[in-house]
Amino acid sequence: MADDQKQPVEVNPEQPADKQAAALPEKSAVPAPVSQGEPTVLPAPEAQVSPAAPVATISSEPAAAPAEEGKPTEVFHLDGAAESAKPKRSLLSVLLKRDLPAALDAKEKTAPATSSSTLFSSSGGEQPSSPKKIDGTASISQLLGPKPLFDKVAEETERRSKHRHARLFFGTSVALGLLVYGFFFTQLDPDFTLLNSQLGPNTALRFDQTTVETQKIQTDINLVRYRQARLWLDELNLRIDPLIASHRTTQLAGQVESTRRAAADELGTQAQEVKTILLAVQKIFNQPLGVDTFSLEPVLPQDREAQYTALALAELDRQKSSFGGDVKQSSEDVRGIDAVRSLLANRTFRFLIRGQDINALTDEQLVELLKEIRAQGTDALSSIEQIKKQRIDWSSVITSIHDVVRVADRHYGQGLFKTIGGFVFSSYRFDSKTGRISLSGLTRTSDSKTFSFIATLIDSIEKSPQFKDIDFRSFSKSRDQSGDFSAGLNLEFTLQKEPDPRDSLDLPPAN
């Protein structure tokens, strides 16, 4: 649109003025008052104007001030009447047909507006600064001023100027973008070390370094704590067996009261010392392994614990490998490292101690906890405890066998077999691995119900909470010279460790 307004209009001097006026663009027919600074396009009024045109009085007062945009511009007044609808065309009509001097005067009033143009030259023309009375002798060139010349150089200069501004803007933007990218790339990429020698480590590298340093110090603290916990647990191990022995003494049936009381007092003291140790160990285990460092990704507490456990284990491995071939040093130190390592790796053990209300434990609960600690541990004493737990107390087993046989034969083991009969066993065989027990012997009854007698023994064994899976399905007997009935026995059954539906409800469950 602006370009259109600036298009120069060629005027043919041979054409009648009416036609030329009609051919002119409406806006360019008469130079309209314009805002300051806007170029004004003027036509080339070369046409002849009739001198006989009536004289018109033109007042340029309204045109002296720049008109507001969008409002009809009062250019001049003919006979005191304001021409506001189409002032430019009216002015040209006046010029061409009626009163050229009046038009000239009006032109002179509006001419200063063209002086601000940058695209058209107005040099050579006089620019009257005050309104004149038209005398009717002015030519059209005087009226309209010199023909405006289209200045390509000025336009090109302006376009180049805009282009330069655009390029400058673009270049500045790109430079700014590169600067921003470059700054943050050099600061946030930990692998960018090109400027480290001049500017020191960048932000990302310093961030990583502080994180690593934090983790390392925390790992060192963890190792110190767990070494201390290991020492506490060794101290605890020294006290577990005496405490359990004291507890056993207090529980033994038939124990002398004074001995039981002394054992109870000893147990109380031992329990307090053991609880103190357990509290110290619990305090260590309750402390978090990891420290809350800043990280780009969120870390869950359990992940952090696993991460710091791995760091501590790696550090222990490094220390272990640093001993190299020094066997003398490794024999003692490696054992210590292995002990701490197994403690760190054993989460179950840590949670076992963590979850205890130690001060509230009774003596029985404390003994059970200590046995569990021994069983869950991973040191030599824990291995020993596991083996001890698997051992069978054969004295108790033999006593239990006596009890179940006495259910069927209440005189068993009293040396009355030869006189009143009953059961006699000449050999016992126990197998710890399978838990199988074999009894070989004889039975003798005065009546013929020998098989029922044996069946009673079988039931007694099966219903016992200590034994199960007895299998005796082949019965045979013979009558001897005295009239008694005898039968050989070869019983096999298994030690029972879990409750069995065949157990008698009348009997107490197995321990």
Partner 1 sequence: MTSPTLSRTTFYYIFGGLVLAAALFYGVTKYQLWNAQESAIVESQKTITQLRGAYQSEKEAFVGFAEEQADKQLQLARNIASILPPDENYTDLTRTFDDFFAAHDSAKNPLLQTSLRFGKGQPLAENPQISELPISMNVQGTRSNFFAFLDFITNSGDLNSKQRLMAIRSIQLNFPDGEELIDEEQQVINFTVDMVSYYQTPKVKR
Contact set for partner 1, span 406-435 (CB under 8 A): 412-415, 417-418, 424-433
CB atoms within 10 A of CB 268: 12
- The correct pick among 15, 57, 84, 211 for binding partner 1 (CB under 8 A) is 211
Residues 438-467, one symbol each (x = binds partner 1 by CB under 8 A, - = not), give ------------------------------
356-389 residues labelled b (16+ CB within 10 A) or e (exposed): bebeebebeebbebbeebbebbbbebbeebeeee
- SS3 state of residue 453: helix
Nearer to partner 1, 360 or 387 (CB): 387
The site that binds partner 1 (CB under 8 A) totals a number of residues, namely: 77
Q: Is 259 in the site for partner 1 (CB under 8 A)?
A: no
Min CB(413)–partner 1 separation in Å = 3
- The correct pick among 27, 162, 479, 502 for binding partner 1 (CB under 8 A) is 162
Min CB(394)–partner 1 separation in Å = 5
- SS3 state of residue 494: strand
Q: Is the dihedral of CA 195, 200, 201, 203 positive or negative?
A: negative
Q: Is 497 in the site for partner 1 (CB under 8 A)?
A: no
Min CB(452)–partner 1 separation in Å = 22
- The correct pick among 9, 23, 119, 221 for binding partner 1 (CB under 8 A) is 221
Angstrom distance (rounded) from CA 276 to CA 239:
12
Q: Residue 421: left (phi > 0), alpha (psi -120 to 50), or beta?
A: left
User: What SS3 string covers 229-252?
Assistant: HHHHHHHHHHHHHHHHHHHHHHHC
Distance, CA of 87 to chain centre:
76
DSSP state at residue 262: H
Nearer to partner 1, 194 or 224 (CB): 224
Residue type at position 31: P
Min CB(372)–partner 1 separation in Å = 17
Residues in the chain: 511
Q: Is 133 in the site for partner 1 (CB under 8 A)?
A: no
- The correct pick among 32, 367, 381, 491 for binding partner 1 (CB under 8 A) is 381
Nearer to partner 1, 149 or 398 (CB): 398
- The correct pick among 149, 180, 199, 310 for binding partner 1 (CB under 8 A) is 180
Nearer to partner 1, 93 or 237 (CB): 237
Q: Is 281 in the site for partner 1 (CB under 8 A)?
A: no
Residues 6 or more apart whose Cβ sits within 8 Å of residue 223: 312, 315, 316, 340
Q: Is 227 in the site for partner 1 (CB under 8 A)?
A: yes
CB 117 within 8 A of CB 140: no
Among 240-248, 352-360, 457-465, 489-497, which window interacts with partner 1 (CB under 8 A)?
240-248
The residue written with tokens 């990218």 in the block is: 181
Min CB(414)–partner 1 separation in Å = 7
Q: Is 170 in the site for partner 1 (CB under 8 A)?
A: yes
Min CB(256)–partner 1 separation in Å = 19
Q: Is 348 in the site for partner 1 (CB under 8 A)?
A: no
Query: Bridge-partner residues for 150, per DSSP?
Result: 120
Q: Is 310 in the site for partner 1 (CB under 8 A)?
A: no
